[in-house]
Structure 1
Amino acid sequence: MNKNISKLLSALTSIGLVILIFIQVDIDQCSKIFIQTKVQYIYIVGFVLSPVLLILLVFRWKLILQDLDVNFSFFALFNSYTKGLLWGELTPGKIGEVLRVRYIYKYKKKNMIGLALLSIFIDRICDLLVLFIITIVSCIYFINNFNINYMFSVLMVAIVSVLSVFLSFCFRNKIGNGLKKIINVFLWKYRERFNIQYDNIIEGINKLNAKNIFIYIFITFTIWIVKVVSLPLFTLSLNIEIPLLYLFAVGIISVTISLLPISIAGIGTREIIFIYFLSYYKISPEASVLVSIMFYLFGIWSIALAIIMNVAYSQFKKLQSYKRFII
């Protein structure tokens, strides 16, 4: 019941924000700006940045699994990651990405489900940790250079989030033992199965070292750089000139706030943020909304491109098998 109420509130918030945006934005003006878009910049984002982003995302996950002694080919993981991205986009906080674990289960490696879940958890934590670190830097940038004092609230949330991740890692054994006791008491029917996976998870955590974590964090920083680099290309396509650091900071803040369960998939909140911050450089609400939509569609297009690549690879494999059969 509470989940339904939460979904209803998110949907109503999204509708309300969209209505507010429609009040502020002239649709005809949006159309005129969009018609004048320089498509060469869009092509760079769609056919250069998107493939690079996908390769980095899958490579990071493969590296994490490899360090946990779970080995799959890059293309096999690409298939699973594609489905995870799709479900992640449709669920709050991208929790749907956990469905990537189904690939491990599909190949009957049930004893590795705990490690697979751990790999996805590490993957997501790296993403959020780096996002919150860059958010802290972005908030400090806005506060120091533009006296946007209410950014203190976002800054505090980001700092608390980073500290929570750090403390969780430091006290991971105590947290894990506490969770194990809770599971054993309330879900005693699954106690034996849980204990096996729990032991696998603890063993996997112990395999990781500072060098592994540093590599994951470095790759994650690179991933976020690729994501925000799309923004200046979008603004250039719309003939908008904004300082790069300012634009990067706006993009990061918009992603962070859109993670909050305020609206569905951040619809409305992201656009409001772009309208507000880009107004500091006299950018019209129409152009701001277009930049915001393009930034969001970059993620959607990356998922679509991953699906296309996955289907193409599957068809190629079938064709190769068919040729062998004929020969």
Structure 2
Amino acid sequence: MIYIRKIIATSISLTILAIIYYQIDLKLLGQAMRGLNWQWFGLAIAMIGPLTAASAWRIYFLAPKDARLSFFQSLNLTLMASVLNAVLPSKLGDIARSYALVEQGHMLTADALSLVIFEKTWDVLALSFWCSIGLLWVLLTSDGISPLFYIMACAIILVLFLGGMMVASLHFANGIFSIALNFIPNKKNKKIEMLQSAWCRTLISFWSNKPKAVIFINGSLFLWLMHLFQIWLFVLALNSNVPFLDNAAMASLAIFIGLLPFTLAGIGTRDAAIIFFYQPYIGVPTAAALGLLCTLRYFLPALIGLPFVRQYLVNARRIKEDVKLGT
């Protein structure tokens, strides 16, 4: 079943890419790529290392002390997730880190899953924050804005509210879990209840140390600001110019659309979104080139992380064999 889903996701990605490249002028696309400003491009690529390290620091910083998770172990998990994100939809590789945390004996299943989802929720909130600022700027300064942007602005505000309440209010979070328990089959109720308890523990632990919470929140906001800055550098590398706040809105929306679980690692949907949002600024061929450069943001960390995935698989196999021998 998993392989069928991968085949379907890959087929959808290839179909979307085929439609995109059939409709654009490939000569102009080639010119845009050949005319790259290598200084801006090199600076953007050089940011991949610090951004990956910052992502690893967040899960290390958020993990409880009794998990005994070192920064280098967190970096290992982050690189492993980068590999899985390159072949899975909706960045599910990040969620797979919870399995690794359990396999390596750092945390229990529910606590590990809660920790990873809690961290990803702050990811969504940080990106939504910058997206909302960018969209507000675009709506206030541009003429003839499509109603679609007002709809997307409302959707982003709703995400900020719901996500913010989930990570800030114990009462609200319990209410959402109670609603989920009423709609999910009874067979899975126990798992939901365990996740609910773990989520509440994570939430209480997070807010019990206010200075640490402030550092984590500001770190998340800065991390995503740098992600958007990196994409802006790609725009400059293509010898184009997009106002930074406009870029913050358009890049954020493209990233969110790339998370839709229909394609392989967002390939195709993210490219189409980048072309749709950026073509009024830089034209379709250059926007298509920007889509290719943005794909490097995902695949270069994946290439670096390949040895870590192999190491994890070997360790996981060894642990399972030890368990069998013990029984």
With structure 1 as the length reference, what TM-score do the two structures score?
0.78
Aligned residue-pair number: 304
User: Would you say the 8 A contact 1:89–1:265 is kept in 2?
Assistant: yes
2:194 and 2:32 map into 1 onto residues whose CA distance is 58
Match of 2:320 in 1: none
User: What percentage of aligned pairs have identical amino acids?
Assistant: 18
Match of 1:27 in 2: 26
Letter in 2 for 1:82: L
Match of 2:318 in 1: none
- Give 1:56's match in structure 2, choosing from 54, 57, 63: 54
* Matched position secondary structure for 2:265: helix
- Give 1:125's match in structure 2, choosing from 121, 126, 130: 121
2:25 and 2:40 map into 1 onto residues whose CA distance is 24
Q: Which has the larger radius of gyration?
A: 1
TM-aligned CA deviation for residue 58 of structure 1: 0.6
Match of 2:105 in 1: 108
Residues 142 and 257 (structure 1), Cα distance of their counterparts in 2 relative to 1, 3 Å cut: farther
Matches within 5 A, 1:108-257: 108-109=105-106, 112-146=108-142, 147-149=144-146, 150-169=148-167, 170=169, 171-176=172-177, 185-187=186-188, 199-209=197-207, 210-257=210-257
2:19 and 2:90 map into 1 onto residues whose CA distance is 24
Answer yes or no: is 1:90 the counterpart of 2:90: no
Residues 237 and 13 (structure 1), Cα distance of their counterparts in 2 relative to 1, 3 Å cut: same
Match of 1:39 in 2: 38
Which residues of structure 1 form unaligned runs of 5+? Answer: 315-327
| Most deviating of 259-268 and 211-220 | 259-268
Answer yes or no: is 1:74 the counterpart of 2:71: yes
1:183 and 1:252 map into 2 onto residues whose CA distance is 31
Residues 108 and 256 (structure 1), Cα distance of their counterparts in 2 relative to 1, 3 Å cut: closer
TM-aligned CA deviation for residue 213 of structure 1: 3.5
* Matched position secondary structure for 1:99: helix
TM-aligned CA deviation for residue 88 of structure 1: 2.9
1:161 and 1:125 map into 2 onto residues whose CA distance is 10
Residues 69 and 246 (structure 1), Cα distance of their counterparts in 2 relative to 1, 3 Å cut: same
Residues 184 and 74 (structure 1), Cα distance of their counterparts in 2 relative to 1, 3 Å cut: same
Letter in 2 for 1:104: L
Q: Tell me how large the CA RMSD over aligned residues is.
A: 3.4
1:103 and 1:33 map into 2 onto residues whose CA distance is 41
Match of 1:302 in 2: 301
1:73 and 1:270 map into 2 onto residues whose CA distance is 34
With structure 2 as the length reference, what TM-score do the two structures score?
0.78
User: Would you say the 8 A contact 1:126–1:217 is kept in 2?
Assistant: yes
Letter in 1 for 2:17: V
User: Would you say the 8 A contact 1:126–1:216 is kept in 2?
Assistant: no
2:161 and 2:195 map into 1 onto residues whose CA distance is 27
Letter in 2 for 1:206: I
Which residues of structure 2 form unaligned runs of 5+? Answer: 313-327
CA deviations over 1:267-303 (Å, ceiling 9, x no partner): 333333333443333x332211111210221222133
Residues 240 and 70 (structure 1), Cα distance of their counterparts in 2 relative to 1, 3 Å cut: same
Letter in 2 for 1:270: R
| Most deviating of 288-297 and 269-278 | 269-278
1:187 and 1:262 map into 2 onto residues whose CA distance is 25
User: Would you say the 8 A contact 1:24–1:285 is kept in 2?
Assistant: no
CA deviations over 1:206-250 (Å, ceiling 9, x no partner): 222154433222111111122111223222322223322222322
Letter in 2 for 1:231: I
TM-aligned CA deviation for residue 140 of structure 1: 2.1
Residues 72 and 30 (structure 1), Cα distance of their counterparts in 2 relative to 1, 3 Å cut: same
